[in-house]
Amino acid sequence: MYVCVCRAVTDVRVNAVIDAGAQTVDAVTAACGAGSDCGACREKIGEMVAERALVPAAALVRERAA
């Protein structure tokens, strides 16, 4: 699913960026460009950061294995 239509960035890419250490919307934007155009997706990116950043690493390992 596209999170950022302007930059054609998917949820998979945004989650990968968050998992790699992006902890803010601006960090996600810097890493993959999502949110750097019209800005309509920035709220969604913020929700994804808040949600994903709170998931313990062990849960991510389990999620990827599933």
In this structure, what DSSP letter does residue 9 have? E
Tokens of 13: 């890419």
* Shortest Cβ 64–ligand FES spacing (Å): 26
Q: Of 5 and 20, which has the nearer Cβ to ligand FES? A: 5
Q: Of 16 and 59, which has the nearer Cβ to ligand FES? A: 16
Which residues bind to ligand FES, rule: CB under 6 A? 4-7, 34-41
Give the three-state DSSP class for 31.
helix
* Shortest Cβ 62–ligand FES spacing (Å): 30
Q: Whole-angstrom Cα distance, residue 4 to residue 55?
A: 22
